[in-house]
A = this chain, B = another copy of it.
Amino acid sequence: MTYPKKVLHKLLFDMMLIRRVQLAIESRYMDNEMKTPVHLCIGQEAVAAGVCAHLKKNDYISSNHRGHGHYLAKGGNLKALIAELYGRETGCSKGRGGSMHLVDTGAGHYGSSSIVGGGIPIGTGIGMAIKMQRQKRVSTVFFGDGAADEGVLYESINFAVLKKLPVIFILENNQYSVCSHISARQTGNSIFHALPAKMLPSKIVDGNDALAVYDASGKAVERARTGKGPSFIECRTYRIRGHAGCASQDVSGYRTAEEISQWGKRCPITSFQKMLLKKKMITENEIHKTEKKINSRIQDAFDYARQAAPPAPETLSANLFRE
């Protein structure tokens, strides 16, 4: 299978952008200016990038506490993201949400939940609305292996299959829920893989391989868009940083240094760049330029965010209700 250069470059760009943004957040996190619990997705960039490469601006996503990657890959506004982390009025959620509650309706992102599993039925409901409105949009739901502990996933998938909704369930299996390994919580491969394919096509892919994610989700999006119903994709990946905060804040004792380093070697970005270089789909110089471009955008975003004003305390009560 060959891929258009544009697609490959887009995948790389998105992954690099997500990574650089995470690193930039991390590098400034100990300044104690971003007073919000960040959940970095370093190592998991291929999932968001690979899936969102198929989505149009007005397609929807549903995201979770570890949502910077989903937000950026879907085209969410970078400045508004960073401003949100700094608790500014110009943040995407006007400083009310913080890192775990991002939103960008223009990019089809209607808000992420920090309740594990909370976004799953919401994304399913969005799929139902799409169907009722006879639109060709799709709704993609990102959730972690921790969310797969929750019964609401079973209920939502049952409903999506029953009503043939245009929903793509993306299980981002990084093997941990905080410090709990999946083997302490679940009994094997997600039980949804065991469903007959005509009910719910499902697939396990290497979540650190952007093209594997891209391929599987391409089929799922196509299926959803043509009214054939939901799909389920499990992306096997790994959280390189600790559960929350930056590298220095991870605790030890719940996973081995080898495990982290093994997965570190399987960096989705490094391997993708190597492959592209080998196939002559990109040059070192182009990568370098991309990196510079990204870095300057990030610099701008941080400058913008840091000088922005925090919400006026008098507006504390605003927006509880829509008038």
Binding site for B on A (CB under 8 A): 149-155, 158, 161-162, 185-188, 191-192, 194-196, 199
Contact = CB atoms under 8 A, between A and B. Distances in A.
Contacts of A162: 185-187
Contact of A194 (B149, B158, B185, B191): B191
Given A150-B151, A151-B151, A158-B191, 17 more contacts: A149-B158, A150-B155, A151-B152, A151-B153, A151-B155, A153-B154, A154-B155, A154-B191, A158-B186, A158-B187, A162-B186, A188-B196, A191-B191, A191-B192, A191-B194, A194-B195, A194-B196
Contacts of A185: 162
A162 B161 CA distance: 26
Nearest to A154: B154
- The number of times this chain is found in the oligomer is 2
A231 B152 CA distance: 22
A116 to B, nearest CB: 13
A148 to B, nearest CB: 9
Given A149-B158, A151-B155, A155-B150, A195 B186 contact: no
Contacts of A161: 187
A99 to B, nearest CB: 28
A231 to B, nearest CB: 14
Contacts of A192: 191
Contacts of A191: 154, 158, 191-192, 194-195
Nearest to A185: B162
**Chain A to chain B: the 7 pairs with minimum beta-carbon distance, closest first:** A151-B151, A194-B194, A154-B154, A161-B187, A151-B155, A162-B187, A151-B154
A155 B158 CA distance: 14
A253 B194 CA distance: 36
7 contacts: A149-B155, A150-B151, A154-B191, A161-B187, A162-B186, A188-B199, A194-B196
A153 B153 CA distance: 12
Contacts of A196: 188, 194
Contacts of A149: 155, 158
A191 B195 CA distance: 7
A191 B193 CA distance: 10
A263 to B, nearest CB: 24
Contacts of A195: 191, 194
A194 B161 CA distance: 15
Contacts of A150: 151, 155
A161 B186 CA distance: 9
Contacts of A186: 158, 162
A187 B192 CA distance: 13
Contacts of A199: 187-188
The listed residue with most B CB atoms (<10 A of its CB), out of A186, A191, A196, is A191
A146 to B, nearest CB: 13
